[in-house]
A and B are shown apart, each in its own frame.
Chain A
Amino acid sequence: MDASVKRESLEAMRVFDLASTPLRELNSALHAIAPGTNDTNFEVVNPRGSHAVAVGIDQPVTVNVRGSVGYYCAGMNDGGTVTVHGSAGPGVAENMMSGTVVIEGDASQYAGATGRGGLLVIKGNAASRCGISMKGIDIVVHGSIGHMSAFMGQSGHLVVLGDAGDALGDSLYEAKLFVRGSVKSLGADCIEKEMRPEHLKKLAELLDRAGVKNVRPEEFKRYGSARKLYNFNIDNADAY
């Protein structure tokens, strides 16, 4: 890179060192951005497992977090691009509305919980309850996911390149689940479903957006709701 260009991009980038700067300053700076400004490049160093890093973003900013974060990183993100160059604690990108969140390492439980839009990419593994109560978010996990993932998932897509733990998709509504490896067990009302051309197409698009190479959509199986628990029926009570 040309030296002058490099200096320019460094100047445009705002660095927050959480070892010396309170978290409040970072989040309020993120919230203070007016629509249409250029000053949208943020770098967070020494996150040291802080909670609620880069939450409530509502502008198309770019945030690079150099290290691992605690709970609820990028919570309720609406339009930002947040990359964690480390691992993330529980509830990363919870209730995301739009934008992109990428975790280079692993994610703890409840990743993408209740997310309503946007894309969450986890390059490592995700723990239990990944995509719990998801409401439109797309989640791509390069590794494996833990038990009770996509519990009560309402809509959106969960793509897993590795394996899924116990009770995948328990009490699922209309979220669509794609798993390439093994599924330890399916939860109540979750079944394997036919992979139709439209699913392969969507899967290819999601893999592409998540930076996945050399993996074909045909390698996945699709899981979804049997829709038997949609309206209460006493004869299904044993399913609970």
Chain B
Amino acid sequence: MTYHNPFTPPRKSATFDDFTLAEIRRAAATGIYDIRGAGTKRKVPHFDDLLFLGASISRYPLEGYREKCDTSVVLGTRYAKKPIHLKIPITIAGMSFGALSGPAKEALGRGATISGTSTTTGDGGMTDEERGHSETLVYQYLPSRYGMNPKDLRRADAIEVVVGQGAKPGGGGMLLGQKISDRVANMRNLPKGIDQRSACRHPDWTGPDDLEIKIMELREITDWEKPIYVKVGGARPYYDTALAVKAGADVVVLDGMQGGTAATQDVFIENVGMPTLACIRPAVQALQDLGMHRKVQLIVSGGIRSGADTAKALALGADAVAIGTAALVAIGDNDPKWEDEYRKLGTTAGAYDDWHEGKDPAGITTQDPELMQRVDPVAAGRRLANYLKVMTLEAQTIARACGKNHLHNLEPEDLCALTMEAAAMAQVPLAGTSWYPGKGGF
């Protein structure tokens, strides 16, 4: 009898998948870890895993387009003499001049200003263009202190002490030499063409007690006018929020692991930090335990893409959200119209993340004078404003359907979760049940 072996298809390992194998080969060939921009690319529990319940017999909705649904937010009501009034609860996150081109920064300022919201400087200081084009500008106080000076502190509308970022809690940064133009080098007091490390810790304070004194100093320098934010990466949101409040923050900015970065090690982006969804409830709990919810405002960022994400973050207790990556996409980042050029760089529109190399075909994450010409700051600013308007309308649509006349009236009771993980992280019931993991009554 002849034995015939039937065909079995070749089987690839789930553990050693194609991407993993390629990464091992890349590491073996180069001896260096992968550095890239953007946020985590793996799938983690996110706002998509939550749904709104909408009004029904027990709650009645508001009329779309007719009944008012307020979107305004005031930030910095705790100590600042001049709190910030924004028309929408969506702010533009801190992204450095250096990582981004001048026209890109200008576009962000223009778009934010049209929309009545704030934009934020970044590692590398404040430029005149940015100040000029941003009606409300938050000035970051970072460990590197590149470009830090009291004049810019005074002409800022708020100050954001950056402790960490969601993409890399506990990590510093690196702007590679190829992106250091004369202007960037000059603003940072460093020679041109060398890699610029951004320290992971502040040079002149460690721990919450020092931070309290540091915040006091910044208030004294600016005569107690400006709101002072403290930005933390999503690591220990309950304690970080509580300590920031204790140190005297007016506003806490909490950036989950999906948050974008200009350039960080891939291993860091993918393996350190907690998903945004998991960060919000502990932070809100800390504020509530201290009697500070709504007195110290909470801004949440990391993977916010739509009005639905915004509404969900607010329903969980945030006062506002911040966007980085989405704002860059709105002004033209990763646009398929540059596909031919993405191909030449060995990538494709939507996947391009070598932002640290300064070759961005869209002219956004570059200091190349020719490439950055591709960003028309007026048109790009307009696109950002359109996008922010859509996000706001989306959030209002949902809030009205839940019967709320202000986005801040959204609450966890308006939500259910699609997965056990999301139910546990957001502490809202699994759809169709009245239970979430961690809640008693099993």
Contact = CB atoms under 8 A, between A and B. Distances in A.
Interface of A: 23-24, 27-28, 31, 51-52, 55-56, 58, 70-72, 75-76, 78, 90-91, 94-95, 97, 110, 113-114, 116, 129, 132-133, 135-136, 151-152, 154-155, 171, 173-174, 227, 230-232, 234
B197 interface: yes
Interface in B180-206: 188-191, 193-195, 197, 199, 203-205
B115 to A, nearest CB: 32
Contacts of B191: 173-174, 230
B220 A52 contact: yes
B145 interface: yes
Mostly, the A contact residues are loop
A52 B376 CA distance: 44
B67 interface: no
A94 B149 CA distance: 11
15 contacts: A24-B220, A52-B217, A56-B222, A90-B204, A95-B149, A97-B150, A114-B204, A116-B148, A116-B189, A129-B203, A133-B203, A136-B189, A230-B194, A231-B194, A232-B176
A76 B221 contact: yes
Contacts of B83: none
A152 B197 contact: yes
A78 B150 contact: yes
A129 B203 CA distance: 8
Contacts, number: 108
Contacts of B189: 116, 135-136, 154-155
Interface range on chain B (Cβ under 8 Å from partner):
35 or more
Contact of B221 (A23, A75, A227, A234): A75
A24 B225 CA distance: 12
A28 B213 contact: no
B152 to A, nearest CB: 11
A61 to B, nearest CB: 14
A56 B221 contact: yes
B437 interface: no
B176 A113 contact: no
Contact of A154 (B177, B190, B204, B221): B190
Nearest to A94: B204
Given A76-B150, A114-B204, A231 B221 contact: no
A185 to B, nearest CB: 20
